[in-house]
Structure 1
Amino acid sequence: MTVMTVGSEFRGGTAGREQAGAAAAQLALLAALWATVGLDTVGWLAGTAYAAGTWALLAAGLRRAGRRSLGPADHVTLARAVLVGGVTAMVAGGVAYGTPLLTGLTTVALVLDAVDGKVARRTGTASALGARFDMEVDAFLILVLSARLAMTLGPWVLVIGAMRYAFVAAAWVLPWLNAALPPSFARKTVAALQGIVLLVACSGIVPVGVAAALTVFALASLVWSFGRDVLWLWRHRPAPRADLTVAADAAERTPELVGSAPAGRAS
């Protein structure tokens, strides 16, 4: 009964109307792409599937958060999600390398990525759901761009788009990877670099050799960033349960030694 009440409240709230509007915008964008670049059936199916998956996951996230509407920054992210749907459809449909429309949609999506965070801070509406929504849209755009560039440079480029998802999969097996990381300007810089480099490489404005060199640099920086974070998480992982029991017993037996140990030292 509770689930039905929550579901009905969600459908009756503004979030349902906001998502319906975004779905309509997605279909309109796909129709525009069909009229301009000749989006084929595969592109239509990919764009539609992306939209359906995005709206379903967002609706589930809103229900879990107990929210009936999106915040100001979430609307910006939702607009970005629609643009990413267009990019996804074009890439899946095999749109030609360096198509100006593909470059344009990607550029606007990346520019808006710098907007939603500022909107959230200025309006005081930052939330865990909004941050996760923003991150997932970013990650999927990087995956799609790396897939497009892989058609030109080779499958190795897919490592850029797949790395974040591989990290998430690894966290299912190694729960300590789920721990919160400290804020890092370097991490944010490397993440932003991926989108910019892939955009430039996919745009066709630089020679293929230059695009390959830039992509190698982006991949190397991403490997460094992930490796740095994994090492930090490993060093700060929780002690095994058996070790904690031994340490507790030792503390009870020799409280004077434990109390005199230097702060932060692992014994």
Structure 2
Amino acid sequence: MALNNTYEARLVQQETAVGAGVQVLLLALLGTAIGMGPAGWLTGLAFAIATWAVLSRALHRTRPRSFGPANRVTLGRAILVGGVTALVADSFESSPPVTLLVGLTAVALILDGVDGKVARRTGTSTALGARFDMEVDAFLILVLSVYVSTQLGPWVLLIGGMRYAFVAAAKAAPWLNAPLPHSMARKTVAAMQGICLLLAGADLLPHLANLGVVLLALGSLVWSFGRDVAWLWRNARNTRTAVPVLEVPAEASMETSETSVEGIEMLELAVR
């Protein structure tokens, strides 16, 4: 059994290596098509190496029996995000075709609704897959906010940086790590960010319209995070103020019950 698990683990690791190879191939195609400069190449390669290293480490810890079809879809999205990242980095040196950047981003956003459905239909939903999907989404939003910030101003970076600021805050305030209840509003706001930033980045609308779209995205994100933080704070307070209730066994004798009650009163006084 141990040998079989080791063999399957190697197959899983091979899939991540293939993903890194496909990422390099995509960068080569982009470089040939637009003459991508050093900034785009280095950023794209750094993204590919970092994705392979982090994903390989996570797989080594969880040791799944297979990589899974849903994770393959997410890995494909990550490859597209790597291409978008390279194009955005290259945009600081030259002007890459906007249609190419918009096309890669649009496909990545469309596939965002696919990997979850595949996981549910195939019964392969895992905590690792959900985290992988979330991290790819968050990084794409960060990259798009960097790109749009060159057009509308550095304040747009608040959209991409808010989730990372929340993670950093949770290091100092562990109560922020508590699980949140399911919320369709939270999912809708998260999906809006990519669509709004893509629309603004495509530069199809007048400047004021692009500004309004991005402000709408930022406002909804602030509301969503604010609501979640408020819920987590109330949950933490309720947890801290909860007093354990000690019950007296019903079948105990009168003498034992009186002794138990006295003991409980002493414990309650000590807690208070």
Per the normalisation by structure 1, the TM-score is: 0.86
Q: Secondary structure at the match of 1:237?
A: helix
Hey, what's the Cα distance between the residues in 1 that align with 2:230 and 2:116?
28
- How many residues are paired up? 248
User: Do the aligned partners of 2:80 and 2:104 also contact (CA within 8 Å) in 1?
Assistant: yes
1:152-181 CA-to-partner distances (Å, cap 9, x unmatched) read 100000000000000000000000000000
Quote the offset at 1:64 in angstroms: 1.2
1:169-224 CA-to-partner distances (Å, cap 9, x unmatched) read 00000000000000000000000000000011101211222111100010000000
Alignment partner, residue 213 of structure 2: 214
Hey, what's the Cα distance between the residues in 2 that align with 1:106 and 1:144?
10
Inter-CA distance 159–104: structure 2 relative to 1 (3 Å threshold): same
Alignment partner, residue 165 of structure 1: 164
User: Do the aligned partners of 1:98 and 1:202 also contact (CA within 8 Å) in 2?
Assistant: no
Quote the offset at 1:13 in angstroms: 1.9
Inter-CA distance 12–66: structure 2 relative to 1 (3 Å threshold): closer
Which segments of 5 or more consecutive residues in structure 2 lack a partner in the other structure?
248-263, 268-272
* Mean Cα deviation higher: 11-20 or 187-196: 11-20
Hey, what's the Cα distance between the residues in 2 that align with 1:109 and 1:32?
17
Q: Secondary structure at the match of 1:206?
A: coil
- Quick one: which amino acid aligns to residue 236 of structure 2? R
Quote the offset at 1:11 in angstroms: 8.7
1:123-178 CA-to-partner distances (Å, cap 9, x unmatched) read 01000000000000000000000000000100000000000000000000000000
Alignment partner, residue 225 of structure 1: 224
Alignment partner, residue 265 of structure 2: 253
Hey, what's the Cα distance between the residues in 2 that align with 1:151 and 1:34?
22
User: Do the aligned partners of 1:97 and 1:203 also contact (CA within 8 Å) in 2?
Assistant: no
User: Do the aligned partners of 1:14 and 1:68 also contact (CA within 8 Å) in 2?
Assistant: no
Hey, what's the Cα distance between the residues in 1 that align with 2:245 and 2:111?
55
From 62, 66, 71, the counterpart of 2:68: 71
User: Do the aligned partners of 1:149 and 1:202 also contact (CA within 8 Å) in 2?
Assistant: yes
Per the normalisation by structure 2, the TM-score is: 0.85
* Mean Cα deviation higher: 33-42 or 140-149: 33-42
User: Do the aligned partners of 1:80 and 1:109 also contact (CA within 8 Å) in 2?
Assistant: yes
Which segments of 5 or more consecutive residues in structure 1 lack a partner in the other structure?
256-267
Inter-CA distance 10–150: structure 2 relative to 1 (3 Å threshold): farther
Hey, what's the Cα distance between the residues in 2 that align with 1:210 and 1:188?
24
Hey, what's the Cα distance between the residues in 2 that align with 1:162 and 1:222?
11
1:24 partnered with 2:21: yes
Quote the offset at 1:69 in angstroms: 3.0
* Mean Cα deviation higher: 170-179 or 207-216: 207-216
Alignment partner, residue 139 of structure 1: 138
Inter-CA distance 126–11: structure 2 relative to 1 (3 Å threshold): closer
Inter-CA distance 64–152: structure 2 relative to 1 (3 Å threshold): same
Inter-CA distance 164–10: structure 2 relative to 1 (3 Å threshold): farther
Quote the offset at 1:97 in angstroms: 7.1
Alignment partner, residue 261 of structure 1: none
Quote the offset at 1:254 in angstroms: 9.2
Alignment partner, residue 153 of structure 1: 152
Hey, what's the Cα distance between the residues in 2 that align with 1:51 and 1:10?
24
